[in-house]
Structure 1
Amino acid sequence: MRLLTVCLLLLGLAAPAAAAPLTVEDSGGTHTFQAPPERVVALSWSLTEQLLNLDVTPVGVADPEGYRHWVVRPALPEGVADLGLRQEPNLERIAELAPDAILISDDQRAFLEPLARIAPVLHFETFSADHDNLAASRETYQRLATLLDREGLAAERLAERDARLQELRERVRAHFDGDPPKVTVVRFLDEARLAVYGGNAMSTFALEALGLESGLPQPDSKWGFAMLTLRDLARLTEGVLLYIEPVPKGAEQFDKPLWKALPVVRAGNVEALPPTWSYGGVFSVVYFAEAITDALLRLDPQ
């Protein structure tokens, strides 16, 4: 009997301890998971970006082709299921995927209840006029890392991100001999209107990380931009103008007299930025900073 008891004790010591439940907070409260979710659905492009930067490929995302066209980085692997539009996700298709967790942003809040009948839903409010969007995005990334048991990887990636931004800042400063120009970042919306990025925009956080100022500052807002016209750009009398590709059909302004008459255009201080998502996660600041640096290094420092 004593031998049997000892054997049972030894077996108990050898057995692996049960994993502790994972607790993670979203914008609505606290959620508990018994294990890291393996099948994750993301209905927001910024959350898709955050997952990919944790080396997690979602089983399905909203509008994957739109992501590949507008967001681009990090690359979305082939084979990820198309779950419809971000503003109108396909609930039936999501249910067929049998996800362990569904990630949404404000655009999908109206679908929270039906989604919750499929799987646990985590809602992250990354963009708001009431907070710093970059700080909120960084916090979201860390919370997702907790959910997916990848906190060590997240810490490494964030450290690499911060070091990369410092490296780019030094390159820009050296190119302009310590006196860089002001930089204005815009996106053509259509033939008549542009988004001019200002306070709380990821592109503006990139400018700040590079030690740069905007030539056409805009107040803080939820999405970080003001809608202006091409004529408004006549107020831009110094610095560099950078526009984000792709340019929508019908917004090719570059042969128009008004465009050619702009002071910044006449000075030859206009460059294109490759497709970079203006409403991305914490790493979109690096993507913007890299694109801005490359564009500025193409200019004569004068």
Structure 2
Amino acid sequence: MLMKTPLTLLLLLLAVFKAQAVDVTDSLGRHEFTSAPQRVVALNWAAAEHLLELGVTPLAIADTAGYREWVVQPTLPAGVEDVGMRQEPNLERLAELKPDLILSGDQQRDLVPRLSQIAPVLHFESFSSEHNNAEAARRVFLTLARVLDREERAEQRLTELEQGFDQLKARLHAHFGDTLPRVTVVRLMDSSHVRIYGDNGMPQYALERLGIAPALEVPVSQWGQVQKKLTDLGAIRDGVVLYIEPFPEADKLFATPLWRAMPFVRAGRLAAVPSTWTYGGVMSLGYLADNLTRALLSVPTE
């Protein structure tokens, strides 16, 4: 039997070390991780969603109160620390927390050099008019799963996502019959303006997976939305309009003659959608699909 020399042992150890290392690519390039980070900070809400869906509780995120009001699902545990606003995180507090990994996104691009002085950074610019935002979110989810050694969990969640679409689609057909209505999703901004979701928007991707076409065509954009005058919604003659809450001025707007004259309002083809994040990770498509379906099931079929 051959004796292993110190050099042989060293080479074996290096081979094991290399086998355990994970190479991933973010929006800025290639990164190598020799072990799964344990103390992870998310500076955008899509990243926070990804972590929670992978079964990882973030050490901290930016704007916990905003997450709980606008994102809602998945639920953010009570012990997660707040490190300031997404556009202006508290860098001193971040350094004190000593994270193993910082996740940043579209809003923090200029901060990456400073963040990199605190901890390794993975930066994902997930929203762009140059790519499919839903597919980009899926890629980010799977990349983080590799880094955090949660690949099995990620595949399980994606399978559940697809199964959920099929179940919701069946419920909609049971309610509406063979032909589903055309639907447009909006956020009402004030008494004069509305944000309309369309091509490349996460709400429309969720609707597509449910077999639903848009009631109003909106061109591709970075965030999948356009801001329009409220009167532009008058072009929706036969479709359904779903508005995402919260909208504090709802009672005031809905009492106006202009609103009451909208064709979809007169026909009763309007419903509220519980607060759901429309700029999130891939699993947010499931929450959107679920809440959009619940709203649609409240719309009369005649």
Name 1:11's counterpart in structure 2.
Answer: none
Alignment correspondent of 1:258: 258
How is 1:107-186 mapped onto 2 (pairs within 5 angstroms)? 107-186=107-186
- Using the TM superposition, give the Cα deviation of residue 190 of structure 1 relative to its aligned residue in structure 2, in angstroms: 2.6
Structure 1: 5+ residue stretches without partners: 7-14
Residue-by-residue CA offset, 1:141-167 (whole Å, 9 max, x unaligned): 000000000101101110110111111
Q: Which whole-Å CA distance do the structure 2 matches of 1:282 and 1:82 have between them?
A: 23
Matches within 5 A, 1:86-97: 86-97=86-97
Residue in structure 1 matched with residue 9 of structure 2 by the alignment: none
Q: CA deviation at 1:290?
A: 0.6
Q: Is the contact made by 1:189 and 1:248 (CA closer than 8 Å) also made in structure 2? A: no
Matches within 5 A, 1:1-302: 20-249=20-249, 252-302=252-302
| 1:215-255 deviations in Å (ceiling 9; x for gaps) | 11100100001111211111111121100000045884111
Contact 1:192 1:251 in 2 (8 A): no
Q: CA deviation at 1:193?
A: 1.1
Query: 2-side partners of 1:264 and 1:179: how far apart?
Result: 18
Conservation of the 8 A alpha-carbon contact between 2:243 and 2:272: yes
Secondary structure, counterpart of 1:221 in structure 2: coil
Percent of residue pairs bearing the same amino acid type: 49
Q: Provide the alpha-carbon RMSD of the alignment.
A: 2.0
Q: CA deviation at 1:267?
A: 0.7
Secondary structure of the structure 2 residue equivalent to 1:281: coil
In the other structure, the counterpart of 1:9 is none
Q: Distance in 2 between matches of 1:21 and 1:123?
A: 19
Would the aligned equivalents of 1:245 and 1:274 in 2 still touch at CA under 8 Å?
Answer: yes
Aligned residue for 2:20, secondary structure, equals coil
Q: Which moved more, 1:151-160 or 1:190-199?
A: 190-199
Contact 1:62 1:83 in 2 (8 A): yes
- The C-alpha deviation readout for 1:73-108, integer Å capped at 9, x for no partner, is 000001211111111111001001100000000200
Counterpart-to-counterpart distance in 2, 1:248 and 1:25: 41
Q: TM-score, normalised by structure 2?
A: 0.93
Alpha-carbon distance between aligned partners in 1 of 2:175 and 2:249, rounded to the nearest angstrom: 35
Deviations 1:194-218 (A, max 9, x none): 1100000000001100100111110
Residue type of the alignment partner of 2:193: R
CA contact (8 A) 1:37 1:148 kept: yes
Q: Point out where structure 2 has 5 or more consecutive residues left out of the alignment.
A: 5-12
Structure 1 distance, partners of 2:249, 2:98, is 38
CA distance in 2, matches of 1:36, 1:251: 49
